Structure 1
Amino acid sequence: MMAGERNPASCYLDERTFRLCCQLFLQHSETIQDGWSWEQIKGTDEGFMKKTVLMPVKPSFLHKQHECSMQDENMVTDDVQANVEDETAGVQAVCEIHAVLRYEYHVLYSCSYQIPVLYFRASTLDGRPLSLEEVWSNVHPNYRQRLQQGPWDTLTQQEHPLLGQPFFMLHPCRTEEFMKPALDLAQAENNLTFLFITHPSSVLCQDKV
């Protein structure tokens, strides 16, 4: 194997190793307080890593995808500001945010692919879930061209394997491709916490307002 090439076997891990990686990852997350936690499925030994973030977007994104009257817009804006103030107390930028989405990320182990898989769902703060088309249109510009070439085999919607609810999913075959820039950066910085997804919002969301 030539220098610099990756060992294909290193792309896979068993479930025991996944759990160990999760423990180490969550310890680091607690240290830096970035909000990851472990969600245990009641009555089973199964679980997943979870993180919820609020992501500001350009107001035009929501207006294009979900038309509403000016009165409704004012009500949504008021609700957004109230909710953001509740969930991100002390953030001065709240008054400047006109549209906010809530992203809930889950990292699960896939027995079929033998890798971590990213599931997520997105909604406005008033509870309206985003459609698959809206999620596609909100992908970071750096990844949009690749998504347009094969949207159905990159970001799709399917049932959450542990919760039985509709979620979006980054296809396992695309995980390494989408994570390569983050992995390369972490490796260059000799950062061992790059085992898997650290900040998925940087991949799935556009630049902030």
Structure 2
Amino acid sequence: MDTSFFNGTLSPREFSLASSAFADKWRRFNPTFPSWTWVPCKKLPWAPSDEVEGYLKLENVCLPGSSKVDSEGGSCVGKEETSCSDNEDLIDNATLVQSSHHEVHYYDFHIVYNASYRVPVLYFRAYCSDGQPLLLDEIEKDLPACSAKLLLESKWTFISQEEHPYLNRPWYKVHPCGTSEWMKLLALGDAVQAKNGVSIEQYLVSWLSVVGQVVGLKIPLEMLNDS
């Protein structure tokens, strides 16, 4: 994918290829963390017949909410706080932010293709150990400080709740507006990509390195370097 023609978007077929490559890389560089898996789906009514339908999922990931979880020997993944500083944007192992609560919260993440914007969209939901769903105000307390501040300033435009396109149930999503523009900037700002073009296989890695920070989900640094 030549950067001179790269507009920051993906076709449905490219999204499918990018998803497969991303899931493989995640397992290879992050074997101790839950895996992203591809969920094949029935074609949506308006989708062309040649489109590959499905989405990526990462589910049952828990956010350790307090020292109580640690003392009880909880098996929650990731206990390192996130940061929005440039120097700490990327770390060697995938982590999720630590909540300030005493209750462990579980998160499901789905990466779904949006045909209107032609970019991936991060859908997510959160719930307690008893399955009780969390409201946005409760989720806000789990978010990195920078995301919580942005959410407070632009609620329902930055993160909004809408029906999951495949599950027909309400999920939260990080709005895709502007995704194609900053994906183009990422490509131009990377010396390797600027020279060799943007790899479809690397698209979701670059994308999640930005979008994942919104919810405190980070990717292994090695995934970004493996282009």
TM-score above 0.5, yes or no: yes
1:18 aligned residue: 15
Question: CA shift at 1:103, angstroms?
Answer: 0.5
- The answer to whether the Cα contact below 8 Å between 2:110 and 2:122 also exists between their aligned partners in 1 is yes
CA deviation vs aligned residue, 1:118-154 (integer Å, no higher than 9, x gap)? 1001001111100122223432112233222211101
| Aligned residue number for residue 208 of structure 2 | 197
Q: How does 1:35-46 map to 2 (within 5 A)?
A: 35-41=35-41, 46=53
**TM score, norm. by length of structure 1:** 0.65
Q: How many correspondences in the alignment?
A: 171
What TM-score, normalized by structure 2, do the two folds share?
A: 0.60
Structure 1 unmatched ranges of 5 or more: 1-5, 60-76, 89-96
* Cα distance in structure 1, aligned partners of 2:183 and 2:105: 22
Q: Tell me which amino acid in the other structure corresponds to 1:155.
A: I
Q: Confirm or deny: 8 A CA contact 1:179 1:197 kept in the other structure.
A: no
Matched, 1:156 2:160: yes
Q: Deviations over 1:139-198 (max 9, x none)?
A: 211223322221110111111001101110111115579999xx69x95898x7424225
Partners of 2:16 and 2:63 in 1: how far apart? 28
Q: Which has the larger radius of gyration?
A: 1
The 8 Å contact of residues 64 and 105 in structure 2, kept in 1 or not, is answered as yes
> Which residue of 2 is the match for residue 57 of structure 1?
65
Aligned pairs for 1:17-96 (under 5 A) are 17-32=14-29, 33=31, 34=33, 35-41=35-41, 46-52=53-59, 53-58=61-66, 84-85=74-75
Using a 3 Å threshold, how does the CA distance of structure 1 residues 9 and 150 change in structure 2: closer, same or farther? farther
Q: Which portions of structure 1, spanning 4 or more consecutive aligned residues, are displaced by more than 6 angstroms?
A: 176-180
- Which residue does the alignment assign to 1:69? none
DSSP 3-state at the match of 2:7:
helix
Distance 1:46 1:167, change over 3 A: same
Quick one: percent identity of the two aligned structures? 30
Q: How does 1:179-190 map to 2 (within 5 A)?
A: 187=190
Tell me, yes or no, if the aligned pair for 2:107 and 2:126 is still in contact at 8 Å: yes
CA 1:41 to 1:48, structure 2 compared with 1: closer, same or farther past 3 Å?
A: same
Asked which structure has the greater RCO (Cα within 8 Å, sep 6+), the reply is 2
Deviation at 1:205, TM superposition (A): 4.3
**Structure 2: any 5+ residue segments left out of the alignment?**
45-51, 78-100, 194-198, 218-227
